[in-house]
Structure 1
Amino acid sequence: MACYTKVEKETCIACGTCGAIAPEVFEYDDSGFSQSVLDNNKGVQAVPEEVAEDVEEAYEGCPSGSIKLNDTPFKPKTPVSS
């Protein structure tokens, strides 16, 4: 079954766990926070089957709960109107 992932940068503590476990999927952005390199952290491209287990392990090991997993693509955030 396909899974999708992204990182909530607002809560990421840049500990390096995800990049150590699944370097094919997670790396740091220019600000030093983790992101999914599959789709520029949008969570709309399925995680390749060969690294899905690593992504799940990174999700479970993320101390801040910043890695998100879903069985369907994430919906884009809608801007809040004032």
Structure 2
Amino acid sequence: MPLYAKVDRAACIACGRCQMLAPELFTYDTEGIASVTLDANTGTQPLTPAQAIDFKLAYTRCPTGAIERRETPFD
């Protein structure tokens, strides 16, 4: 089953945890707000199985729940 991801940038508190846990999947803007690098934070490209492993670690450890996931692409 595919997994799609994006960050709710309004909920992000710029703690840096997601990039520390999955540096190839997350980046930050000049204010430190996270986004998913895979598809410019649109949630339209599925994660590979290897990416999904690192993603799930970051997803479960996000203190604000700003990292979102779905089994279908985000609109």
Normalising by structure 2, what TM-score? 0.94
Partner of 2:55: 55
Partner of 2:14: 14
Cα distance in 1, alignment partners of residues 30 and 36 from structure 2: 13
Letter in 2 for 1:23: P
Cα distance in 2, alignment partners of residues 73 and 58 from structure 1: 19
Q: Which has the larger radius of gyration?
A: 1
Cα distance in 2, alignment partners of residues 29 and 4 from structure 1: 21
- SS of match in other structure, 2:39: coil
User: Structure 1: which 5+ residue stretches go unaligned?
Assistant: 76-82
Percent same amino acid among aligned pairs?
44
Cα distance in 1, alignment partners of residues 7 and 24 from structure 2: 14
Cα distance in 1, alignment partners of residues 30 and 45 from structure 2: 22
Q: How much is the aligned-residue C-alpha RMSD, in angstroms?
A: 0.9
Cα distance in 2, alignment partners of residues 2 and 22 from structure 1: 18
Query: Aligned-pair distance for 1:31?
Result: 3.1
User: Structure 2: which 5+ residue stretches go unaligned?
Assistant: none
Normalising by structure 1, what TM-score? 0.86
Structure 1: which 4+ aligned runs deviate by more than 4 Å? Answer: none
